[in-house]
Structure 1
């Protein structure tokens, strides 16, 4: 491949930035942390996102002759068993993310049509039924082939960046022309309080900076990877940290902590755009309707692609015989229709279960955010452990960001500690606030039960498949003899 067709620095930076950054992550953490989210973004970017991206870059360069991805990166260090668990847990995290997506789309549509969220505590159960319908419809769309939706997905990424830039620019323009900040910035309000409440949402910050693994798969196509990749990792980290930090400051300028808290996880992303428009004398309702309408169309295209891409990565990386042939069967376009419909069946169960005890819409969205966050952290914990073992064995990849083993080991341990803290912290608030031991046990089961059960299920499926394949092979040999 000629250099003209190789991936350059800024293309690689965008491959890291686009799947990592999201304006919704700014509003989510602003609801949870208020102005304290501002320095939190800096801390997480420097101590988690940057070293994680560097680890991914090293393991990707060590496996650049293979199909890039978590399975091969982990397998090269600690073997196929952990590689399978890491990849499967990544797949599981996608299920919980989609569960959250299907709950958010109806809210998005409500803002587009009515200029407000018509879902409340009294009718929140409807979100589950609408989520089930969306799971079926979007799965069917994915089975028809995702290529037709890829342009819409790309448009959605560009739209998100564009409206974020517009929000930030006009927030500061308003401040410059004399509009007072809605938030009073003080040392007390900005400094994080490292208590139970903070650590119960710490995983949300880690979840927000996830996405660097996508770029790692392209290292074989990068122009001068030994120089370009480390530069891209550093530049992308700085961009992500700046976007989240400046975006959080802009959010606090436009909306007070009380206004953000009142909007809650479900509505904060729309309320702040409405407030910004009204600050400049525009019709906030019309502006937010337009924003929500475009976001709905582009997001649906992106979610259709996202429903299929992790499945394709999962079943193309894992060795043949790991899963039943029903799951790995592809059509003429390479689409795994059976796997998509099985994923849909699991999603329907995941979406339906919370409806039974749904009392508060804000609690519902917090629960979904916790599940998505802690599930995605698991594969990163395994990946960090794999890198630690890889460097302890004295291995060095073609591209190394950490020249000394001491630095590499220290970084691995830091990632493991932060990952484990994020995983267990996700449900800590529910456990501590439980009034009885039984409530605490229920909280543990609610927050951690689903991911653990599904990961164990994946391991059992793999074990049964391999056992069946072995018995079938032994039977064939016996017959031949």
Structure 2
């Protein structure tokens, strides 16, 4: 019996991949390369050292302290700041997922266009068409999620592995090509590599923080890991190291293949595909066919992954908070444990998110930039709360089984560092649009579009719990 139980446990390296796959994304490399060019390389290093590693250390310690609770952001925040802040942090994480879903549903039509035609047929004037297709996909994939995600989990897992293999192939062939005589498409010099800290860089800085988010996703699996007190914290740190190195080396490879001008012209929506096309052509292959093959597999596996992603954050959100926090309507499950009502409410909210921006945006590229800003600033909120919870937990004299930061001084330094960078990331997202606005009216519009949605939804999270809490107290 013991051997059978042990066989079902997640191994150390399975855990590392479980963290790496949903966290690392090749699109994150090209997104930041579009915005920063070769300056993205040291930027990844800065973010990894000053934010990603400290945050992963915090997660590792809090996970080891709560390994008997099933893990997850809720329990990690609760042990330091109590139930109220644990709820706010978890709800904020859920809100960030809503904005992320908005972004990926808009990306799928572009992805499909590359798969079918070998190019993006959605020009900057097709914002409304892209949004209509995204709304259609929201409804279809939500319906698929209500039927159960188990059927799609294997395909999603394959998609994660495919992304890793495709990224490795890109990096290896880009670097080999350079050493075999293919000249670098980018000039690497002091003036191009050193980041210029201005309003635009502050906006992109939030994207960098968003790109390294994900070490927390394995929290709910901590009880399934072999020797969790030892392997889970070490797995988090190891995955963090791999992700940081992959982003840095991947950025070098992208810059070798495509110049800043080419990346800027491609934009956020196309850069991910353009670089693969150029790489294939550098090796004498048909770039169109190569990018079509890449896009076809990416589209199929991404759709499966997104169906899983539509459902899994909702399951985590409503399973971790205490019973009675939400109205019964939202927490109602079917026989498979799927929260059907919550899924359709989420679907309606995401549709509203997709519709609202197109009323004031005039290009697809500006639409993608706004979605990147919304996703980024929303996700740093739970990390800010998590850092505060960790500092409170450790300063109370608690010592988790796994300790990365031993002294009180190091605990305070690391916590404050993550807090400051998280706050900078929150206000930095969209700051470039505000600073570069033509007039005060345009600046106010940018503030509302970038910060209004997340703030209103976080406050809404507190409001919707009031009836349930009142009912609980009355009983």
TM-score w.r.t. the length of structure 1 is: 0.96
Contact 2:257/2:279 (CA < 8 Å) preserved in 1? yes
Residue number in structure 2 paired with 1:196 = 199
Deviates more, 1:137-146 or 1:75-84: 75-84
CA contact (8 A) 2:63 2:233 kept: no
1:126 aligns with 2:120: no
2:42 corresponds to which of 35, 39, 42: 39
Counterpart CA distance in 2 for 1:231 and 1:282 is 42
The residue number in structure 2 matching 1:212 is: 215
Paired position in structure 1 for 2:406: 403
2:437 pairs with 1:424 = no
Give the Cα–Cα distance (whole angstroms) in 1 for the partners of residues 128 and 361 of structure 2.
Answer: 6
Where has structure 1 moved over 4 Å in runs of 4 or more? 1-5
| Superposition deviation, residue 4 in structure 1 | 4.6
Structure 1: state its 5+ residue gaps.
474-481
Cα contact 1:57–1:216 (8 A) shared by 2:
no
Q: Deviations over 1:170-225 (max 9, x none)?
A: 10121122111111111211111122211111010000000000223333343344
Match of 2:242 in 1: 239
Aligned residue in 2 for 1:334:
337
Distance 1:7 1:407 in 2: 31
Q: Does structure 2 conserve the Cα–Cα contact (< 8 Å) formed by 1:143 and 1:335?
A: yes
Quote the Cα distance in structure 2 between the aligned partners of 1:233 and 1:103: 31
How far residue 437 of structure 1 moved from its aligned partner, in angstroms, is 2.2
Partner of 2:96: 93
Residue 470 of structure 1: CA displacement? Answer: 3.0
Cross-structure match for 1:262: 265
Give 2:346's aligned residue.
343
Give the CA deviation at 1:238.
Answer: 2.0
Tell me what 1:111 maps to.
Answer: 114
- Alignment coverage as a number of residue pairs: 472
Counterpart residue number, 1:84? 87
CA distance in 2: counterparts of 1:77 and 1:66, whole angstroms: 14
Residue 403 of structure 1: how far off its partner (Å) = 1.3
Quote the Cα distance in structure 2 between the aligned partners of 1:314 and 1:36.
37
- Asked if residue 369 in structure 1 is aligned to residue 372 in structure 2, the reply is yes
CA shift for structure 1 position 24: 0.4
Deviations 1:274-306 (A, max 9, x none): 000111111111111111111000000000000
Residue 252 of structure 2 corresponds to residue 282 of structure 1: no
Unaligned segments of structure 2, at least 5 residues: none
Asked if 1 retains the 8 angstrom alpha-carbon contact of 2:38 and 2:255, the reply is yes
Task: Please state whether the residue corresponding to 2:69 is helix, strand or coil.
Answer: coil
Do residues 68 (structure 1) and 97 (structure 2) align? no
Asked if 2 retains the 8 angstrom alpha-carbon contact of 1:230 and 1:401, the reply is no
Alignment partner of 1:183 out of 178, 186, 190: 186
Q: 1:415 aligned to 2:418?
A: yes
Q: Does the 8 A contact of 2:387 with 2:415 survive in 1?
A: yes
1:384 to 382, 387, 392: 387
> Structure 1 residues 395, 29: closer, same or farther in 2, change over 3 A?
same
SS in 1 for 2:112: helix
Indicate the RMSD between aligned Cα atoms, in angstroms.
Answer: 1.3
CA–CA separation in structure 2 for the residues paired with 1:4 and 1:305? 25
Provide the secondary structure at the position in 1 that maps to 2:464: helix
Distance 1:100 1:331 in 2: 28
Matches of 1:278 and 1:30, distance apart in 2: 20
Is residue 2:29 matched to residue 1:26?
yes
Contact 2:174/2:257 (<8 A) preserved: yes
Equivalent position SS for 1:145 = coil
Question: Does structure 2 conserve the Cα–Cα contact (< 8 Å) formed by 1:75 and 1:83?
Answer: yes
Aligned residue in 2 for 1:155: 158
Q: 1 CA distance for matches of 2:190 and 2:315?
A: 47
- Structure 2 counterparts to residues 5-24 of structure 1, below 5 A: 5-24=8-27
